[in-house]
Chain A
Amino acid sequence: MDIMYVSIWIYIGVNNVRNLLYNEINKKIIIYGSVIAILLGLYNVYLTNLYGINSLEGLFFVEYGFVDIRAIKYVTPFLKWVLPQMVLMWILKEFVAGELDKNGVYIFTRTNRRGKWVIDKTYDLFKFVILFYFIMFLITYIIGIVVGYKMLYIYKGIELILTMFILTVLLNYEYILIINILSLKIDVIYSFLIALFVDIFSLLLSSFIYEYFKMKIYLLKLFPVSHGILAWHSMNNMYNNLYMSEFSIKNFSIIDSISYLILSCFIIVIYGIYVFQHKDII
């Protein structure tokens, strides 16, 4: 009986993986996500040793929750943060425009439910972003285990990792939405460059404000990127033991950030529906 159950589970698992790999975008996400996670994971193992936080929480924190605002001006920390985002943006940049170009004529001569189509596509994008970071987090976990890291505090650790996963997914989803919704109005390459500019410029501007206008540091709450970086939030007992930088933004809570990111994604989707309902399908 047990063998039968195991066989059924294996069959279901193999089928799910096969279905997942049928999709070209999923394939790219899995391949690129794995490669980047391995490269960044190994580099971050080195950093955790340097910072003296040799734990799974530490590895995840360095990889997904920490950007040293004092070091943004140097290339490596900046690239480490931006690289996975850039790759994901590149993979998903023309998803909505591409689908519209490919199937739009056949679909919109059969239905006028354009809003529903936009919602369906943005939901697909959300699933792609989750898949990308699920793969990255999984590989980071495997690398951590392989180098012998353990979780210091099980519940706190899981809470910390889940929070970083939510913030990372939402922030990246926002960038992906910006690109895809803009691509309904302008060329895909321009929309990609605009989203990339928003990402990079807000990081550099944060660094600039930190260096020269410390009194205005609260302005960082306006930038999407700040909401995705756990370490910039007000001190939280969730990561006391990982505290590596004296920098944080006062009265900047994680709940505020999740709300900000969800609300901004919602506004972008609503704008996308509006744009698409008035768009010529050429």
Chain B
Amino acid sequence: MGYLEVTNLSKNIGQNEILKNINLNLEKGTIYGFFGRNGSGKTMLFRALCGLIKPTSGTITINNKVLHRDISFPESIGVIIESPGFWDHYTGFENLKVLSSIKNIIGDEDIRKSIKRVGLDPDDRRIYKKYSLGMKQRLAIAQAIMERPDIIILDEPTNSLDENGVQLVREILLEEKKRGALILIASHNKDDIDILSDVKYKVDDGAVIQS
């Protein structure tokens, strides 16, 4: 049994079946790449894995605990789904400090290290609102990795990044994989999927097929 197991997962919204009988068996220390056209169900699948939406049928088991029965969200997860949303009038450091205070398992130094790791300055006094799109995306990556989560789920992680940024994020993800994290990425960037993924899945009309 994998660290993260999805069994017969389906999700209906209204009359639409947006996830169709999905089965996955995912191991730690591996990068899984998901690709597919817009609206194919990648983001919805990621939301289901994060515990943000409840399946209509089927189960998601993480580390032998069933989501929405034993736990209401994965205990150790870092996530970027769609556009990063932080508090506009806080600095990058302050934003991560607020989020880290929810679980309270890391200190200021860990936050500073994460910010430096993505190429930002933790002492930058600019507020988030003044950040460029690339800086916002880097901060979102820092947010996802700062608590050294067991599972990292990234929807379009290289969005808005320049070439150096893309390279840096790829290096970070490979380091996180080496640390033992289970990583799921969805990207329009075929290179991201090809270069990073150990296993690739195609998502089409709510169904997932190993590629």
Q: Do A and B come from one complex?
A: yes
List chain A positions with a Cβ less than 8 A from chain B. Answer: 22-24, 101-112, 280-282
Q: Tell me if B99 and A105 are in contact (CB < 8 A).
A: no
Q: Tell me if B143 and A106 are in contact (CB < 8 A).
A: yes
Considering the chains assembled together, what is the distance between the CA atoms of A174 and B135 in angstroms? 40
Q: What are 10 A-B residue pairs whose CB atoms fall within 8 Å in the complex?
A: A103-B85, A103-B86, A105-B85, A110-B102, A280-B47, A280-B53, A280-B54, A281-B52, A282-B47, A282-B52
Considering the chains assembled together, what is the distance between the CA atoms of A111 and B78 in angstroms? 12
Closest B residue by C-beta to A101: B85
Interface size for B (C-beta < 8 A) is: 26
Instruction: Judge if B87 is at the interface, Cβ distance under 8 Å.
Output: yes
Instruction: Judge if B77 is at the interface, Cβ distance under 8 Å.
Output: yes
Closest B residue by C-beta to A22: B89
| Chain A residue contacts of B74, Cβ below 8 A | 109
Considering the chains assembled together, what is the distance between the CA atoms of A280 and B103 in angstroms? 22
B197 CB to closest chain A CB (Å) equals 22
Q: Tell me if A281 and B103 are in contact (CB < 8 A).
A: no
B50, B79, B85 pick with most chain A CB within 10 angstroms: B85
List chain B positions with a Cβ less than 8 A from chain A. Answer: 13, 44, 47, 50-54, 72-74, 77-82, 85-89, 99, 102-103, 143
Q: Which of A22, A23, A107 contacts B99 (CB 8 A)?
A: A107
| Chain A residue contacts of B86, Cβ below 8 A | 102-103, 106
Closest A residue by C-beta to B105: A110
| Chain A residue contacts of B50, Cβ below 8 A | 105, 109
Q: Tell me if B103 and A106 are in contact (CB < 8 A).
A: no
Considering the chains assembled together, what is the distance between the CA atoms of A14 and B47 in angstroms? 43
Q: Tell me if B102 and A107 are in contact (CB < 8 A).
A: yes
Q: Which of B13, B72, B99 contacts A106 (CB 8 A)?
A: B99
